[in-house]
Amino acid sequence: MSETNGNRENTGRRRTRRGGGHDANRRADAGISQLDWTLPVNPDKPTEPLDEEGVAAIHDAAMRVLEEIGIDFLNDEAKAVLKAAGCDVEEGSPTVRMDRAFVMEQVAKAPSTFTITPRNPARRISIGGRNIVFGNVSSPPNCSDLDRGRRVGDRESFRDLLKLSQYFNCIHFTGGYPVEPVDLHASIRHLDGLYDKLTLTDKVCHAYSLGKERVEDGMEMVRIAAGLSHEEFDAAPRMYTNINSSSPLKHDYPMLDGAMRLAKRGQPVVVTPFTLAGAMAPVTLPGAVVQQTAEGLAAIALLQAVRPGAPVVYGTFTSNVDMKSGAPAFGTPEYMRATQMSGQMARFYNLPVRASNACAANAPDAQAAWESAFSLWACVSAGINKVYHAAGWLEGGLCASYEKFVMDCETLQQMIRYLERVPVTEDDLAIDAIKEVGPHGHFFGAAHTQARYETAFYQPFLSDWRNYETWEEAGAPQAPEHANRIWKQILAEFEAPKLDPAIVEELEAFVARRKKEGGAPTDF
């Protein structure tokens, strides 16, 4: 003992020994054991930085923005709907003012929870309440991996990232393109892209609100893939879109158009203002959340006027910018608090809420990990229902990293396990085991341990928990290297989810016909 300091906190690793076994809860494939598909329910009270007066003050200020300043709707149909509903719409101006009674009346029509059922009904997800679901990274122009470095997105990478999204059970829905397949011409990209999505995955999917053709094609392809009649498609949520306001205080034509098209057919719309504090929104967090709330509720009120009861989600993307460069920052103290405040506002309006697992780092290094962990913590502590960009996001959204994708899935699994309730039965209290082991033994061999060790603890598939010497002998691999090996194995062994060949044929025919017709105009 003379060479040690007597502190036991650093010695357990050497003194403890092999327990053995594996977790029966997991499926072993692609060389890893992952959690089964599960829809996590958040058991904790959300962290709420605002008191009741704070929530009321933000609500009141958002209402004043809608009443006194107004929101620009760059879409004549939207303006006409709102004018008909009694809003103050100036002739020749895009600005619409709406009073709080109207806004609250419309918002009250939106469901507080809803389900979305993809082509595989076993992948149905619930949005709202205490549910929390995770989606893959959406819309980066670039992708990267350790072997090929960073490059502009193409269809092959797009398909790779879809396969990872399908493989991991912790990914509950697919977002926008996990990387932009730039080698597909923009006029037909949505056709090939959605074809890939619907054949490589069977999870809830998204269509971009980028003009009539893309949106209508998207709904039609989702309908075909699920083998639904038009009536069946319209009867319940089958897919969703996300629209961003063009902050400050503007909603653009194509996003409003797409949102209204989906709402008319009962399909969900996530409304996510682009309120980066200090840039497109006030530099103060309450101010940015005021603007986010005004922009978001303006579109939600429109959609309820278009179709009462249309499923909608209050989205938050509020974060701060780096005041040195103007670049958006994520996983910051400001991001965490803004996300929690957004959760409070969404609950005040009885709406489901969406946020993101984002970071600003350029590489899948420690910075990426702590920024993402803080973003994820923000989502979990805020009571977020739908977590966008939950796996794969780097560089403030400019790059999808294969390795980061796998690393994020590791932390998502940990969060899913964290969200399980801790039971406290007489058995869990373990007094008999404590008595049995007494002061001279250890618990490895106790019957209480043996009966439980296979499932007692979450077992990571990525973390390297070997001791230093063994790890060093193995070449001292860091997290991205492990992730690199894992995604390769997943892609090598990937099997697409089952889909009726007749449906595949119908999808192919649809894509071929629409390509022949020229796809979508690219001049919007």
Please report, as residue ranges, which positions from 406 to 465 form the binding site for a second copy (by CB under 8 A). 407, 410-411, 414-415, 417-418, 420-424, 427-431, 433-435, 437-439, 441-444, 446, 448-449, 452-454, 456-460, 462-465
Q: Please give the residues from 103 up to 162 whose contact with a second copy meets the rule CB under 8 A.
A: 138-142, 150
Q: Under a CB-based contact definition with an 8 Å cutoff, are residues 433 and 456 in contact?
A: no
> Which pair of structure tokens corresponds to residue 208?
């971009």
Q: Does 90 bind a second copy (CB under 8 A)?
A: no
Q: Does 516 bind a second copy (CB under 8 A)?
A: no
How many C-beta neighbours within 10 Å does residue 182 have? 18
> Which pair of structure tokens corresponds to residue 28?
């072993």
Q: Does 3 bind a second copy (CB under 8 A)?
A: yes
Q: Which residues contact 231 (CB under 8 A, 6 or more apart)?
A: none
- Residue number, 125 or 483, with CB nearest to a second copy: 483
User: DSSP assignment, residue 67?
Assistant: I
Q: Does 473 bind a second copy (CB under 8 A)?
A: no
Q: Does 478 bind a second copy (CB under 8 A)?
A: yes
Of 80-88, 111-119, 336-344, 511-519, which part binds a second copy (CB under 8 A)?
336-344
Q: Does 274 bind a second copy (CB under 8 A)?
A: yes
Q: How far apart are CA 103 and CA 36, in angstroms?
A: 41
Please give the C-alpha separations between residue 508 and each of 182, 188, 195, 224, in angstroms, as whole numbers: 21, 13, 8, 10
Q: Which helix (H) or strand (E) holds 315?
A: strand 312-315
Minimum CB separation of residue 146 from a second copy in Å reads 12
Of 40-48, 344-352, 488-496, 502-510, which part binds a second copy (CB under 8 A)?
40-48
Q: Does 281 bind a second copy (CB under 8 A)?
A: yes
Minimum CB separation of residue 152 from a second copy in Å reads 10
Quick one: which of 28, 39, 323, 509 contacts a second copy (CB under 8 A)? Answer: 323
Quick one: which of 134, 158, 177, 402 contacts a second copy (CB under 8 A)? Answer: 177
Minimum CB separation of residue 174 from a second copy in Å reads 14
Amino acid identity of residue 426, one-letter, is E
Nearest partner of 480 among 388, 410, 431, judged by Cα: 410
Q: Does 221 bind a second copy (CB under 8 A)?
A: no
Minimum CB separation of residue 322 from a second copy in Å reads 5
Amino acid identity of residue 188, one-letter, is I
Quick one: which of 341, 353, 391, 409 contacts a second copy (CB under 8 A)? Answer: 341
Backbone angles phi, psi at 474, to 5 degrees: -80, 5
Q: Please give the residues from 10 up to 39 whose contact with a second copy meets the rule CB under 8 A.
A: 10-14, 16-21
Q: How far apart are CA 129 and CA 219, in angstroms?
A: 26
Quick one: which of 116, 225, 279, 346 contacts a second copy (CB under 8 A)? Answer: 279
How many C-beta neighbours within 10 Å does residue 170 have? 22
Q: Which helix (H) or strand (E) holds 80?
A: helix 76-84
Q: For a second copy, what does the binding mask look like between residues 360 and 399, x meaning CB under 8 A?
A: xxxxxxxxxxxxxxx--x---x------xx-----xxxxx
Q: Under a CB-based contact definition with an 8 Å cutoff, are residues 363 and 106 in contact?
A: no
> Which pair of structure tokens corresponds to residue 227?
């083998």
Of 67-75, 97-105, 155-163, 194-202, which part binds a second copy (CB under 8 A)?
67-75
Q: Which helix (H) or strand (E) holds 115?
A: strand 113-116
Quick one: which of 196, 202, 213, 334 contacts a second copy (CB under 8 A)? Answer: 334
Q: Which helix (H) or strand (E) holds 33?
A: strand 32-35
Minimum CB separation of residue 334 from a second copy in Å reads 6
Q: Find where tokens 């077992």 sit.
A: 459
Minimum CB separation of residue 320 from a second copy in Å reads 4
